[in-house]
Structure 1
Amino acid sequence: MNQFVKDIKSKPIFWMGIAIPIVLTLHWTHSGSDTLMFLLSLVAIIPLAAFLSHATEGIAAKTGDTIGGLLNATLGNLTEMVIFIAALNQGLIELVKASIAGAVVTNSLFMLGVSFLQGGLKYKVQNFNRLNAFIQSSLLFVVCIALMIPTIVTKVSEGEKAVPLDKISLGIAVLLMVVYLLSLFFSLKTHSDFFKSEEPEGGHGEEHVWPVKTAVIVLIISATCIAIVSEIFVEGVQDASEKMGLSQGFVGFIIIPIVGAAAEMMSAFSAAKKNKLDISVGIAMGSSAQIALFVTPLMVLLSYFIAPVPMDLSFKGGLIFMLLFGTLTVVLTSNHGKSTWYLGVLLLSVYAIFGITLYFLG
Structure 2
Amino acid sequence: MSPLLKEIRHNPLLWLLVFVPLVFAFHHLRSESHTLLFLLSVLAIVPLAALLSHATESVAAKTGDAVGGLLNATLGNLTELVIALAALRAGQYMLVKASIAGAIVTNTLFMLGASFLLGGLKHHVQEFNRVSARLQAALLFLATVALLIPSAISKVDSAPGALFTHKLSVGLSLLLIATYGLSMLFSLKTHRGLFASAESGEAGEEPWPLGLALATLAGVTVLVALVSEVFVESVQKAAESFGMSQAFVGFIVVALVGGAAEMASAFSGARKNRLDLSVGIALGSASQIALFVAPVLVLLSYGLGPTPMDLQFWPGAVVMMLIATMTASLVTNSGRSTWFVGVLVLMVYGVFAMTLYLLPPSAG
- 1:323 is aligned to 321
- 1:231 is aligned to 229
**TM superposition shift of 1:185:** 0.5
Aligned equivalents of 1:25 and 1:291: distance in 2?
31
Matched, 1:186 2:151: no
What are the residue-to-residue correspondences of 1:204-215 with 2, within 5 Å? 205=203, 208-211=206-209, 214-215=212-213
**TM-score, normalising length: structure 2:** 0.88
| SS in structure 2 at match of 1:175 | helix
Moved more, 159-168 or 310-319: 159-168
Letter in 1 for 2:165: L
Letter in 2 for 1:229: V
- 1:22 is aligned to 22
CA offset digits 1:159-189 (Å, max 9, x no partner):
6655521111111111111111111100000
**TM superposition shift of 1:317:** 0.7
Matched, 1:241 2:235: no
Matched, 1:80 2:77: no
Query: Cα gap change, 1:238/1:195 in structure 2, threshold over 3 Å: closer, same or farther?
Result: same
Aligned equivalents of 1:203 and 1:119: distance in 2?
11
Aligned equivalents of 1:113 and 1:101: distance in 2?
18
CA contact (8 A) 2:66 2:195 kept: no
Query: Cα gap change, 1:256/1:13 in structure 2, threshold over 3 Å: closer, same or farther?
Result: farther
- 2:196 is aligned to 196
CA contact (8 A) 2:76 2:261 kept: no
Query: Cα gap change, 1:266/1:147 in structure 2, threshold over 3 Å: closer, same or farther?
Result: same
CA contact (8 A) 2:75 2:217 kept: no
What are the residue-to-residue correspondences of 1:137-176 with 2, within 5 Å? 137-157=137-157, 161-162=161-162, 164-176=164-176
- 2:304 is aligned to 306
Letter in 2 for 1:305: G
- 1:119 is aligned to 119
| SS in structure 2 at match of 1:198 | coil
Aligned equivalents of 1:143 and 1:12: distance in 2?
41
Moved more, 310-319 or 157-166: 157-166
- 1:274 is aligned to 272
Letter in 2 for 1:294: F
CA offset digits 1:98-154 (Å, max 9, x no partner):
121111111111111111112222333222112111111111110110100011111
Moved more, 63-72 or 222-231: 63-72
Aligned equivalents of 1:66 and 1:332: distance in 2?
21
Matched, 1:134 2:134: yes
Aligned equivalents of 1:320 and 1:145: distance in 2?
9
Query: Cα gap change, 1:286/1:254 in structure 2, threshold over 3 Å: closer, same or farther?
Result: same
Query: Cα gap change, 1:204/1:195 in structure 2, threshold over 3 Å: closer, same or farther?
Result: farther
Aligned equivalents of 1:173 and 1:274: distance in 2?
37
Matched, 1:353 2:351: yes
Question: Unaligned stretches of 5+ in structure 2?
Answer: none
Query: Cα gap change, 1:209/1:318 in structure 2, threshold over 3 Å: closer, same or farther?
Result: same
**TM-score, normalising length: structure 1:** 0.89
Aligned equivalents of 1:159 and 1:181: distance in 2?
32
Query: Cα gap change, 1:341/1:221 in structure 2, threshold over 3 Å: closer, same or farther?
Result: closer
| SS in structure 2 at match of 1:164 | helix
| SS in structure 1 at match of 2:255 | helix
CA-atom RMSD, angstroms?
Answer: 2.7
Question: Unaligned stretches of 5+ in structure 1?
Answer: none
